Amino acid sequence: MRILVLGGDGYCGWPTALHLSNRGNEIAVVDNFVRRSWDHELGAQTLTPIRPLTDRLRIWHRLMGKEIESFVGDILDYEFLAGVMKEFAPEAVVHFAEQRSAPYSMIDRQHAVFTQMNNVVGTLNVLFAIKEFQPDCHLVKLGTMGEYGTPNIDIEEGYIRIQHNGREDVLPFPKQPGSFYHLSKVHDSHNVHFCCKIWGIRATDLNQGVVYGTVTDETALDEALVNRFDYDEVFGTALNRFCVQAAIEHPLTIYGEGGQTRGFLDIRDTVRCIELACQNPAARGEFRVFNQFTEQFSVLELAQMVHTAGQRLGLRVVVDHLPDPRVEAEQHYYNAKHTKLAQLGLKPHLLSESLVDSLVNIAMQHRDRVDPALLMPRVNWRNSRNDRRSKREVAIAAD
């Protein structure tokens, strides 16, 4: 297939592009490198050093003899996006090109507005470009399990059957997003659903859980193909943070009680899920929703797993609790369905089998690059004017 990967230089987009290329598909990637610029804004860097996209693509071609075409630009620029769609004429578009951090969206008004504009308008441009230039193209859109929130009932895959006042219907599952970022993804889902209905677009919304790991079969081929490992408090995940903290023997910092429960999946399962969605496209006019995760853990359970793994490696690991900077239930019911991708053939990797090799060992290998100042929370959901200064500016002010 001809598959266009939007956000192809990012954490999910890069290994997805390699995986789909390795499986014999013709791949092109689009990116404007804004994710790399956010590292500079925040005074952060990925734990694993990553090469420029041109280097990555050149080395991939040298190793595999497979060429991935690249288009550098912003999907907010509709003329640029239209040119890519006309030139590459994709059969599927995989859409990762969004601001993906809840904390980033909660820094202040500017970051909230940017997140919503970037994500919602970018996705609208993609929808209009598909309608205008590739109306039979299948949109594979990355959503998030965070759209659902934490309701006190089981979370279905996208839709729920409702009986009310003697009548029955199947309706989109209620959304209770927890940040301006998650709200932007809800708006995306509504826009995609609407365009499927009025234009006959085919789309799959992948409500993804928290992704972990840096290694896929393809990124392991050469150190120049390595993926990101974000551990800072804005773009890093709790699991990544715990692994880095264990590697430098810093207390594992749990926000609140640690009962916050979410779905998780290995990056190797992410790329496989995308492949399965592309191989089994939605029907014309169908808005299909898959819950894309393989296991559920609480934050406390993650910390305990890292604690055990660290001790086995001879690390001095302790657990600490901090006041939760987020507005969220710290103890809640959580049971989400996730059967549709398994029915298509997904065979999951389990965290218990990959925690040390895919996370802790990599954190230990690169622990000289760890900046402990990035580990503690500075973005508070209750404060609309968070400290936007870089860690360097904060240190100068403290002096």
CATH number at residue 51: 3.40.50.720
What is the DSSP annotation of 35-95?
A: HHHHHHHHT---SS----HHHHHHHHHHHHS---EEEES-TTSHHHHHHHHHHH--SEEEE
Instruction: Give the active site residue among 115, 185, 212, 340.
Output: 185
| Residue ranges making up the domain that contains 177 | 2-217+265-294
Is 194 a domain residue?
A: yes
Catalytic residue among 16, 48, 144, 294: 144
| Ranges of the chain with pLDDT below 70 | 384, 387-399
Based on the structure, what is the number of domains in the chain? 1
346 in a structural domain: no
> What single string gives the DSSP state of each residue in 309-333?
HHHHTT----EEEE---S-S-SS--
Q: Which of 11, 104, 148, 181 is catalytic?
A: 181
Residue with tokens 């499927």: 196
Domain contains 284:
yes
Inside any domain, residue 251: no
Distance CA 17, CA 1 (A): 12
Residue 287 is assigned to a structural domain of this protein: yes
Look-up of token digits 């169908």: 286
Q: What is the pLDDT of residue 388?
A: 54
Assigned token pair, 180:
């301006």
What's the confidence (pLDDT) of residue 383?
Answer: 87
Q: What local confidence, expressed as pLDDT, does residue 397 receive?
A: 42
Q: Which pLDDT tens digit goes with each residue over 188-198?
A: 999 999 999 99
pLDDT at 271: 98
Residues in the chain: 399
| 181 assigned to active site | yes
pLDDT tens for each residue of 116-162: 999 999 999 999 999 999 999 999 999 999 999 999 999 999 999 99
Residue 394, domain member (yes or no): no
Asked, for residue 40, whether it belongs to a domain, the answer is yes
Does 340 participate in catalysis according to the annotation? no
Q: Decide if 78 is catalytic.
A: no
- Structural domain includes residue 130: yes
C-alpha 267/C-alpha 199 separation (Å) is 33
pLDDT at 318: 97
Q: What is the pTM of this model?
A: 0.95
| Whole-number Cα distances in Å, 210 to 67, 89, 131, 262 | 30, 31, 31, 7
